[in-house]
Amino acid sequence: MALDSQALSALIERCRAGDKAAWDEFIGLYWQRLFAYAYKATHDRDLASDLVQETLLRVVQKLQRYTEEGKFEAWLFRIIVNLVRDKARANARRQTRSTLVDAESGSELTDQMPGRETVDDAEHREETEKLFGALERLPELDRQVLLLRHYGCLSFKEIATVTGCPLGTVLARAHRALAKMRVMMEVDHETS
């Protein structure tokens, strides 16, 4: 459920005033979108949840200083994008990041009883692994644009604000990234 700009401004003001119900509404409004972005960016449910909580904590800490200019969602997603980027850099330094396929298939396999996977389930899992594998191979900024668009549900204009790129660059990145993914998926399909 998206709020129009007036309703969002009113919600922000209620949050600033310390209205607990407003904070509950705010969290209900944004938790899933923030989590979807963080999970697809990190491939780790616990880490994604932690990043969303850290994002919301920063919102609570900085909301009094935030000036409403009709760009609240861009500001909100910039916080989580920066947290995800910082975490990825820290993980790269420690070189402990697991692969997308391992994280994705591990979570799916633990959710199922052994020997109960159907052919359709296996094919779906394989296609999902290929899709996320292709997404993982994209350049960081291209991947970020797709994740913000499809999991953060942001408009291209909002993505431009979050990433600090011109709108045309964001549109070009999205187009190029989708084309690259199509090619990678076709190549993966042909080699299977």
pLDDT for residue 49: 94
| Band of pLDDT at residue 114, cut at 50, 70 and 90 | very low
Q: Per the structure block, which two tokens stand in for 86?
A: 């910082």
In a domain, 109, yes or no: no
- Rounded distance between C-alpha atoms, residue 42 and residue 37, angstroms: 9
Mean pLDDT for the stretch of residues 98-116: 43
pLDDT for residue 99: 41
Domain of residue 90, CATH code: 1.10.1740.10
Does residue 106 have a pLDDT over 50? no
Q: How confident is the prediction for the chain on average, in pLDDT? A: 81
In a domain, 118, yes or no: no
In a domain, 60, yes or no: yes
| Band of pLDDT at residue 107, cut at 50, 70 and 90 | very low
Number of domains in the chain: 1
In a domain, 13, yes or no: yes
Domain containing residue 40? 1-97
Identify the top-confidence range among 7-11, 52-56, 111-115: 52-56
Helix (H), strand (E), coil (C) string for the chain: CCCCHHHHHHHHHHHHCCCHHHHHHHHHHHHHHHHHHHHHHHCCHHHHHHHHHHHHHHHHHHCCCCCCCCCHHHHHHHHHHHHHHHHHHHHHHHCCCCCHHHHHHHHHHHCCCCCCCCHHHHHHHHHHHHHHHHHHHCCHHHHHHHHHHHCCCCCHHHHHHHHCCCHHHHHHHHHHHHHHHHHHHHHHHHHC
Q: Give the pLDDT confidence of 153-171 residue by residue, as tens digits.
A: 888 998 999 899 999 999 9
In a domain, 144, yes or no: no
- Rounded distance between C-alpha atoms, residue 191 and residue 150, angstroms: 27
In a domain, 111, yes or no: no
In a domain, 28, yes or no: yes
CB contact at 8 A, 100 and 43: yes
Mean pLDDT for the stretch of residues 172-185: 88
Q: Give the pLDDT confidence of 22-47 residue by residue, as tens digits.
A: 999 999 999 999 999 999 998 899 99
Q: Over pLDDT 90: what percentage of the chain?
A: 39
CB contact at 8 A, 135 and 181: yes
In a domain, 53, yes or no: yes
pLDDT for residue 14: 94
- Rounded distance between C-alpha atoms, residue 122 and residue 185, angstroms: 17
